[in-house]
Structure 1
Amino acid sequence: MWTEVDIRRLLRNTTDAKELPEVFSHVKWIQVVTSMLSIVGSGSIIGYAIFQNVVKSPEVRPLFYLSVSDLLLAFCWLLGAVLYKPFTPDLQCFNLQALGQMFYLTTYLYTINYMWQTCSNFRRRIVHDTNQITETECCIGRIATVLCSVFPVLLICPVFYYGNTKECYGNSSYSCLVLNIGSQITVDPGSYSDGGCAALHTYSTIVFMVTFCLSTVAILVLVGYSYQLFRMIQKESRLLQDHWAVLTVTRHAFLLFPSIFLFCCLPVVILTLVSSKGIDVGYQVLCYIQSFTAVSQGFLNSLAYGWTQQMLHCLKQSSYRDVDTQTPLLRSQKNLYASMQTSNIHRGPQTVSAF
């Protein structure tokens, strides 16, 4: 007796056989371009941190690790595009797809780590007016960095071991394109002859979705905490001009980086849900969208970081020029006026927030 799900799978297999090779041939070249852009973007941050000798800086170190994970993910996608051949199940492609999922989870965790470390550094610098890091904070930061790399490896190890042992790569017809990170790219998950492979398929999808949901919640919590922190700092009237510049730039960064994270990851999540539910409507459009966004985080992060650093430089230069052209009396009057204006802006109805 044919069920509705069986009929939908049959229709989708027929549609895939006729249309997906053409769609994926286009996606392949899009993936090549976006991967190369991400390699250039994340590589520029890594090169800047190394050549400027700021890898150990509390402000740069978490972004450096995030860029390394973005770089590895981009290389994985680029290699997949090079190896892609339609309707060619391959052990190498299966392992490459699992490796891509591992790097994806790593970028999620390192994004949380970057947000948390940036928020902690900012609070320590502005509220306590110092850049000194205690031994406890330094130890916690190291542990968090290590866990961001260890957890994805532990979660994906069963995929590597069981998938290769039971030859679960037999249905991975498009896995070299790393299109659907969460569900081990198969034309039809129900066609697995081994029940263990179907369970591995489900496990991979659940790991990806749960990690994304937890990462999103953690990032939103950090954004909410930073919002409260900014409101508290705006009440202060004795901050230096440099600190106000850092406040402005950090506020923009806390808006940009979570937005980039969601922009790049949401199409992946939606395509995972669509693929797991067997929905055909909009599937090809999602493939195109994901090929543009899924691996672009490294490139967009480099643009955001470069723009925020340029803004910080301009704000500091502006404050320096302003101080140099004023007498001590005018400077003291301006500081008093700025304090009063800050207080009024905070209490008035025209309060402007970057969030």
Structure 2
Amino acid sequence: MSALFLHQMIAENGTLQLGGREAAECMDNDEEDQVKALTYIHLFVASLSILGAGSVIVYIVYWRTCRSSEVRPLFHLAIADLCLATCWVVSALVTERTMSGEMNDFCMYLQAIAEAFHLVTFFLTVNYALNVYVRTKDRQNRSNNLRPLMESAVMVWSLRLVIIFSWLLPIALMVPIVYVQVTNATDNECNTSCLLLLEWPSSTRDQESNWLWENYGMLIFVIALFLSIIALMILYGPSYRVYKQLLSQKCISIA
């Protein structure tokens, strides 16, 4: 997840001015060079993500373990990472055309789709942490001759619903802003870079849009990221404690 913010930190330290203006008219040479540099960073980071996620997917499909309850969380997370990385590549490849004032609507949809995949990866990362806790707790229960959690149909279906929720909720969150943009679409005199995380899904095309709609994409992203970090801390803490207890039990049994 940290790789997602590499180019954003570079942009914040620079002097980019990407507030809805056409690059040819609203950017000087230094700013255009910065956008090109960020484009290369996009391509490099996204290529690494595609390589990593693609390798995981190929391995899981090759060994036909994608239906395994233990592998399923990682498989879904790899798919989401691959889709997100693909959006990054596309945004970098079309940036030159968007800087010349073309493909305004395409960037709008791409930003919304990429934002949805960002949220999916956050939620599926939390889902993976939840599965780590459940699997670790099950190992402890088995060592204590207790019933494993995964033998409960309620637990099995709950984990499946978390995966479904992780895919559908981000899509539902992006539908309103896409609808607002489409219904209030107007021709921009200038266009900005199509690079992700430099431009957020918003209703800036609507002259009557308020602050909330103008910053809708950024707010959803920050809130989802913050909640995901909190959830990961809550889940990995107990997982670590259960794992330490499990190790101590094994050491005692060996002694």
Q: What fraction of aligned residue pairs are identical, expressed as a percent?
A: 24
Contact 1:179-1:185 within 8 A present in 2 as well: no
Match in the other structure for 1:135: 153
In 1, Cα distance between equivalents of 2:252 and 2:94: 56
What is the total number of aligned residue pairs between the two structures?
226
Match in the other structure for 2:246: 233
Match in the other structure for 2:172: 154
> Structure 2: which amino acid aligns with 1:71?
L
Contact 2:136-2:242 within 8 A present in 1 as well: no
Match in the other structure for 2:110: 96
Contact 2:16-2:31 within 8 A present in 1 as well: no
Match in the other structure for 1:119: 133
1:168 to 1:71, Cα distance in 2 relative to 1, 3 A: farther
Match in the other structure for 2:73: 62
User: Highest Rg: 1 or 2?
Assistant: 1
Cα displacement string for residues 199-218 of structure 1 (whole angstroms, at most 9, x for unaligned residues): 42222222111111111100
Aligned-pair distance for 1:33? 2.1
Contact 1:80-1:178 within 8 A present in 2 as well: yes
In 1, Cα distance between equivalents of 2:107 and 2:187: 8
1:110 to 1:153, Cα distance in 2 relative to 1, 3 A: same
Aligned-pair distance for 1:63? 0.5
Match in the other structure for 2:27: 17
- Of 35, 47, 52, which residue of structure 2 is paired with 1:36? 47
Match in the other structure for 2:85: 74
Q: Please tell me whether residue 48 in structure 1 is matched to residue 59 in structure 2.
A: yes
- Of 170, 192, 203, which residue of structure 2 is paired with 1:173? 192
- Of 214, 217, 222, which residue of structure 2 is paired with 1:201? 214
Cα displacement string for residues 219-241 of structure 1 (whole angstroms, at most 9, x for unaligned residues): 0111211122123223313689x
Select the structure that is richer in helix: 1
| 1:272-351 equivalences in 2 (<5 Å) | 335-336=254-255
> Structure 1: which amino acid aligns with 2:231?
A
Q: Compare 226-235 and 60-69 and name the one that shifted more.
A: 226-235
Aligned-pair distance for 1:20? 2.3
The runs of at least 4 consecutive aligned structure 1 residues that moved more than 6 Å come to none
Contact 1:112-1:215 within 8 A present in 2 as well: yes
1:172 to 1:127, Cα distance in 2 relative to 1, 3 A: farther
Match in the other structure for 2:10: none
1:214 to 1:131, Cα distance in 2 relative to 1, 3 A: closer
Q: Compare 67-76 and 122-131 and name the one that shifted more.
A: 122-131
1:143 to 1:12, Cα distance in 2 relative to 1, 3 A: closer
Contact 1:106-1:152 within 8 A present in 2 as well: yes
Q: Please tell me whether residue 105 in structure 1 is matched to residue 119 in structure 2.
A: yes
Unpaired runs of at least 5, structure 1: 1-10, 241-334, 337-355
Cα displacement string for residues 296-336 of structure 1 (whole angstroms, at most 9, x for unaligned residues): xxxxxxxxxxxxxxxxxxxxxxxxxxxxxxxxxxxxxxx32
In 1, Cα distance between equivalents of 2:133 and 2:57: 21
Unpaired runs of at least 5, structure 2: 1-14, 19-25
Aligned-pair distance for 1:98? 1.1
